[in-house]
Structure 1
């Protein structure tokens, strides 16, 4: 068992995590309401890296929207570089919903509270501490490490990772793989054992507007082409439609491992039901089994006694790898001939090998701290900055190692009020991440 007394590196990582949480780098997604928090956070990182001898590149394509990149050379010039990245922005908070100040980084009963404690200033502070330690101590990793701290991930990375990929791709020269969110956290495997999920793939993401049109009329005289009624019918049909289950490599490996380790049986015809037996982890995996469409916004008339001529709805669409050629036709067909569908920009799904040597490095690092722990691939139903890096041919993996109690739902902390993480989980994360970055 590891020494329960935190090491100097673990203490420094915790201090940096708390310092970053206290910088209110809130990303509202609206330019006129975003301050300079992201730039403040990037300048803080720059100061800490420069202090130990790094050369850094800070880019601020819009006021307040800064990202920072630094490189640590490795000992194997033939090995592809590894991009180790975190985003410095966080989603907004409703302070009245929080027990403790969301930017206070307070610790209560061994739990760190604060916006970014999980998403993802915990990892930003951890890799910052490790980068500093490697430089101070003369640690030379196996491969080049490119430490990247991005702005704007919470609004699609337009002024962060996406901008750097488009305008400063040379910063990632020689990189073949990347590691960041969302994965690495433990979930129950049975018999007090833990699985540590690694995101080897991510769903694609797009949105669409579906619109029904009729003619405006007085509410006292119902019409046969009421746009609200027609839209409601289409939205219900879309919401009720199930795309088929697809055994992606990540899903196949996850189900294989859980079948072998627990004896669980997973049936395609009732896969969501079977996954429920895994508890909160099951709902996460269930969202990865098929392409999904969620109606999220409805817009219609503004006056009760006026039948509007138009009604529309917004759809959130998450697509599996390899489904790019089919999902639009399916949604348009389900919506019906009298409904128009306007498509927004689509970001493709990404899919990295589930048997890459990096997975073995992750497993070795976990085994050092948790001898029975098992690294298990899964498909992330959401998106990260790995999608932008993928355009440079960089294969992305989600793995922020966190050993947590069996009933602690790490994924459920993303964007939640009272976002929190056990402090000893952060110490675990520091130890495991240091091993990964040294040996990867």
Structure 2
């Protein structure tokens, strides 16, 4: 592959990081994705790839384009990323989070791994193809979505609802969070390909009581009732349920590590995985974390109601059981209402697409072994899955063995190794050329 694409990917990623696309969860306080969308559309148009920009709300922009494949009879592939990023407090960072600074072999900035690195890889590969007159094996729909960081309402879900024609005929999709390496030895690296992700179950808890003066004895206090419910939920530990993707990952990891897997105590394997254990550990069971509390307006007034927010993440097939458990823990005096529900996903780790991933990784890294895993969070794949599209996470990166990659997602000093970006372009180019 041309070294020009490997050089260009760094410049593309730097440019994207320098465009503030902070998503606060509310359009009124978000930077919006329009400027980044225009940048991406311009880079595609520059090489003759016609791009369209759609806005779900003013400033909330998504870019789509289509590459015609050599075999029009095959099902199409969606290659997608998102343009928005979570907020960053500059005072906490060693660099300006929107500077795109190059330092110590890394590209620094908000979005460097989530996920303007992959956006740049996609652009670098398809721009090279366009300049060289290369057609992919099958049709590819390119999509750079808005609003992934707040549930995809103004991005992928909106596009699926309002412009599903862009994804017509597509059978598979590839995006974040997968394809990154986990070093086992100097000669062996597991590359985690996302084949599953937990569902989202955001809940609002409401307790009501009798309002009154803070100096009185008060048995019917909404804050007390809610606090007890929140404590029970926050301290509850859901049982282990090994889905196919998690079990397969644990089997592969235990084999690579040379230790025996006890399915009843999978934490013994996970404990050997280093920082990535936080992501894998969260896929063993459902989780429910209290994240917000709201009650009262004055210290000497007992409020008549109190609310809390719960961030629930649910394994495939566990949705009803999860809600039933939460309602039991909350108790009869607390109302439980879903505020966002998005389905969990799981597909099998097989087929030509998976073979092409594994081959591309091995070609660039002879010590690579591709393995499936489940993401504890969620992606835009949830929207595309509504169209029957099979979704994978494959944004290839070869990482230094000592890098705490998991902490970089939404973390301070987010950064990606420059040579990892260039590795990713080479892998992505070969993978897409054979997919």
Shift of 1:191: 5.1
> Partner of 1:258 in structure 2?
253
Note the C-alpha offset of 1:248: 0.7
* Structure 2 contact 93–412 (Cα < 8 Å) conserved: yes
Give the RMSD, CA atoms, in angstroms: 1.7
- State the 1:167 CA deviation: 0.9
CA contact (8 A) 1:67 1:149 kept: yes
Residue matched to 1:29: 25
Shift of 1:264: 2.6
Which residues in structure 2 correspond to 1:181-330 (within 5 Å)? 181-190=176-185, 192-272=187-267, 274-330=269-325
Deviations 1:225-271 (A, max 9, x none): 32222222211111122222111111010011112221234445543
SS at match of 2:56: coil
How does 1:104-123 map onto structure 2 within 5 Å? Answer: 104-123=99-118
Aligned partner of 2:46 in structure 1 is 51
Tell me the number of residue pairs that the alignment of Structure 1 and Structure 2 aligns.
Answer: 435
Unpaired stretches in structure 1, ≥5 consecutive residues: none
Residues 263-305 of structure 1 show CA distances to partners (whole Å, capped at 9, x for unaligned) of: 2344455433542222111121010111111111112223333
What is the rounded CA distance, in whole Å, between the counterparts of 1:211 and 1:60 in structure 2? 35
Give the aligned partner of residue 15 of structure 1: 11
1:147 & 1:328 partners in 2: Cα distance? 36
Deviation of 1:192 (Å): 4.8
**Cα offsets for 1:70-94 (capped at 9, x unmatched):** 1111122222111111111111211
Greater than 6 Å deviation, 4+ residue runs: none
Aligned residue number for residue 65 of structure 2: 70
C-alpha deviations, 1:188-222, integer Å up to 9, x for none?
Answer: 22455211111101111021112222222333333
Q: 2: CA distance between counterparts of 1:191 and 1:20?
A: 33
Q: How does 1:336-351 map to 2 (within 5 A)?
A: 336-351=331-346
User: Match for residue 91 of structure 2?
Assistant: 96
TM-score (ref. length: structure 1): 0.95
Contact kept in structure 2, 1:201 and 1:378, CA below 8 Å: yes
Q: Deviations over 1:123-171 (max 9, x none)?
A: 1111111111111112122111111111111122222111111111111
What do residues 397-426 of structure 1 show as CA deviations (whole Å, max 9, x unaligned)?
011111111121223211112111111111
> Secondary structure in 1 aligned to 2:157?
helix
Aligned to 1:314, the other structure's residue is in SS state strand
SS of structure 1 residue aligned to 2:195:
strand
Mapped to 2, the partners of 1:64 and 1:258 lie a distance apart of 44
- The answer to whether the Cα contact below 8 Å between 1:38 and 1:88 also exists between their aligned partners in 2 is yes
1:290-439 aligned at under 5 Å gives the runs 290-439=285-434
Given that residues 295 and 315 in structure 1 are in contact (C-alpha distance below 8 angstroms), is that contact kept between their aligned partners in structure 2? yes
Q: Which moved more, 1:14-23 or 1:301-310?
A: 301-310
SS in 1 for 2:110: coil
Match of 2:151 among 137, 141, 156: 156
Note if contact 1:249-1:354 (Cα within 8 Å) is conserved in structure 2.
Answer: no
Deviation at 1:183, TM superposition (A): 1.1
Q: Provide the rounded CA distance (Å) in 1 between the counterparts of 2:382 and 2:280.
A: 20
Q: Tell me which moved more, 98-107 or 209-218.
A: 209-218
3-state DSSP class of the match of 1:379? strand
